[in-house]
Amino acid sequence: MTAVGTMLRRQLGESRWFLGLAASALFGLGWLSAFIACRVERRFREVTGEEAERFTQFTRGMGGAAMDFSSLAFQVMFWSHPFVFLILCTWAISRGTAAVAGELERGTLDVTLSRPVSRAEYLATQVIVAVLGFLVLAAALVVGNRVGGLYNPVSDPPTAMALIMPATNLALVGLAVYGYSLLCGSWDVVRWRPNLFSATVTIAGYVAGVASTFPTLSDWEWIGRFSVFKAFDPVEVAVTGATFAPHAAALGAVAAAGIVLAFVVFLRRDLPSNT
Domain boundaries, the chain: 3-32+79-268
Instruction: Quick: pLDDT tens for 52-72.
Output: 777 777 777 777 778 888 899
State the DSSP code for 159. Answer: P
Calculate the average pLDDT of the chain: 90
Instruction: Quick: pLDDT tens for 127-182.
Output: 999 999 999 999 999 999 999 999 999 988 888 889 999 999 999 999 999 999 99
Cα–Cα distance for residue pair 76/33, rounded to 1 Å: 7
* Phi/psi of residue 156, nearest 5 degrees: -135, 80
% of the chain surpassing 70 pLDDT:
96
Alpha helices in the chain (DSSP H): 3-46, 49-63, 71-76, 82-97, 103-106, 109-113, 119-151, 160-186, 192-211, 234-239, 244-268
Cα–Cα distance for residue pair 198/6, rounded to 1 Å: 29
* pLDDT one digit per residue (tens) for the chain, 275 residues: 577 788 888 888 989 999 999 999 999 999 999 999 998 888 877 776 666 777 777 777 777 778 888 899 999 999 999 999 999 999 999 999 999 999 999 888 988 888 888 999 999 999 999 999 999 999 999 999 999 999 999 988 888 889 999 999 999 999 999 999 999 999 999 999 999 999 999 999 999 988 887 767 777 788 888 899 999 999 999 999 899 999 999 999 999 999 999 999 999 998 886 54
Q: Give the dihedral sign, CA 140/164/170/13.
A: positive
Q: Are 142 and 164 in contact (CB under 8 A)?
A: yes
Q: What is the pLDDT of residue 60?
A: 72
Per-residue exposure over 138-149, b if at least 16 CB sit within 10 Å of its own CB, e if not: bbbbbbbbbebb
